[in-house]
Amino acid sequence: MFNPFDEKPIPLDDAFMDWKTVYPQSYSKENVDPYSKIRVILMNGIEVEAAIFSHQFHRNCPHQELRRELAVSRRIEQLQQKRINWLSPIGETQLETTIGYEHVAVDLTAWLAMNEPDLYVKETLDFALLEDFDHLYRYANLLDLDQNIPSQKLVKNYVEITPGRPTIAEHRHPKDTVRKYIDFKTADIRTKLNIMIITAGEQQTMNFYMNIGPTYYNDLGRRLYQEIAIIEEEHVSQYGSLLDPTATWLEKLLLHEYMECYLYYSFYQDELDPHLKTIWETHLQQEIAQLHKAAELLKQYENKPWEQVIPGGTFPKLLQFHDTRDYLRKILAEQTELTADRENVLSVNDLPEKHTFFWYQEKVNRDIKSVPSHLVIDQHQQKKGEDYRSEVNPHPVEALRDRKKDNVDIARTKKKELAKV
């Protein structure tokens, strides 16, 4: 297996790119493979996280020379981010891009959960998986309602479009979104990578909705983006709380660079589009150079070898997107009615009557008819007779099979409605 620490790095100065290189040929909206598109979306989020993290490190660092080194690395990350984000074509609408964002959230989270050795982290991934799955369903109904575009045309047969844990049931008190952190000194490298990858990915989704939501052309869409952006805040809080706060800034820098190397190498191995494959290969070489620089800085300022943070350095199993529909159906059948109780998850039916979940639900969802995620389904049903779905089999939860009525009770009230097929 590949070990980036064994590779000879290019000179860091060679990672700077001219404008012709930074402005890439966009992918074709009509012909792009959905997995190619979600690789682009994820790596954009990874590079945004790299830049944001570097800025925070820079602002909390007293060493001027180290700050200069961070500025060099950060500029390279920013150039990479611009190159990746500008792969989106001119004719792709924000809602079509949003379908891609939720496709990333579904297949990425499912893959990470299926390959996560830490049961507590896996529980967190499975929990949020059903919520992003529902977001895909809500946005798909908006796209079909407003533009008569079936989202299955965009995601093909890679993922089903059907209700998850209803978005209306995902609104929880902020204190119930903080998970226990994982000790990175003892955690498997797979776990460390998974937490960092999902945190960066969900953070990008949160930022995307925060910024483009109000630019949608009608009120229903603007309101849906606003509501789901708040759920993404919950997810980023949940995932971010898993990160080890005791790790030093330089240890985190090393892990960030390692994560980027891991993802670029994974995607280079799987990419079918030759243009994108070249970009992943080029960025991998740039990231290897930055990884070696991060290891050098760790040794210089903390007198720690990189092996102390990433023992061995060899990549774990590569991230390869594949069909996760059966796994999703299993989690839907088992976990739709779960909610959060401080650092844990449990069935909504097991919560005490005065739990903060019910208090917060009443606070934000007092008028069901004004909840955007419900409204978009209700309006689609009124206009077209039923909701928009793309299923290979009936929904695994009987209470979510009705295509003419949106279920606003399951997972938010004490009604035992869960049922396997």
336-380 pLDDT, tens digit each = 999 999 999 999 999 999 999 999 999 999 999 999 999 999 999
Average pLDDT, the chain: 97
SS3 at position 243: coil
pLDDT tens figures, 300-348: 999 999 999 999 999 999 999 999 999 999 999 999 999 999 999 999 9
Mean pLDDT of 230-257: 98
* pLDDT for the residue 418: 52
The set of residues, in sequence order, having a beta carbon less than 8 Å from that of 382 and lying 6+ positions away, is none
416 or 147, greater pLDDT: 147
- Helix (H) or strand (E) holding 193, with range, is helix 189-212
Least confident of 154-168, 301-315, 405-419: 405-419
Distance between CA atoms of residues 99 and 304, nearest Å = 43
Nearest CA among 42, 122, 32, 131 for reference residue 321: 42
Distances (CA, A) of 293 to 1, 3, 8, 80, 225: 22, 16, 12, 17, 40
* pLDDT for the residue 180: 98
* pLDDT for the residue 406: 97
Distance between CA atoms of residues 180 and 183, nearest Å = 10
- Nearest 10 degrees: CA dihedral of 90, 32, 271, 193? 70
pLDDT tens figures, 98-150: 999 999 999 999 999 999 999 999 999 999 999 999 999 999 999 999 999 99
pLDDT of 420 over the 50 cut: no
Q: In terms of pTM, does the model score above 0.95?
A: yes
Residue 31 CB neighbours (<10 A): 8
Nearest CA among 28, 131, 7 for reference residue 87: 28
CB 146 within 8 A of CB 218: yes
Residue located via tokens 């990915």:
201
* pLDDT for the residue 376: 99
Mean pLDDT of 20-35: 96
Which residues in 143-177 are b (16+ Cβ under 10 Å) and which e?
bbbbeebebbebbeebbbbbbbbbbbbbbbbeebb
Nearest CA among 205, 226, 235 for reference residue 100: 205
CB 33 within 8 A of CB 154: no
pLDDT tens figures, 203-220: 999 999 999 999 999 999
Which band of pLDDT confidence, cut at 50, 70 and 90, is reported for residue 417? low
* pLDDT for the residue 419: 45
> What percent of the chain is modeled with pLDDT above 90?
98
Which band of pLDDT confidence, cut at 50, 70 and 90, is reported for residue 416? low
* pLDDT for the residue 421: 39
The domain spans of the chain are 4-326
Nearest CA among 320, 283, 318, 288 for reference residue 306: 288
Nearest CA among 374, 383, 386, 352 for reference residue 134: 374
pLDDT of 415 over the 80 cut: no
SS3 at position 396: coil
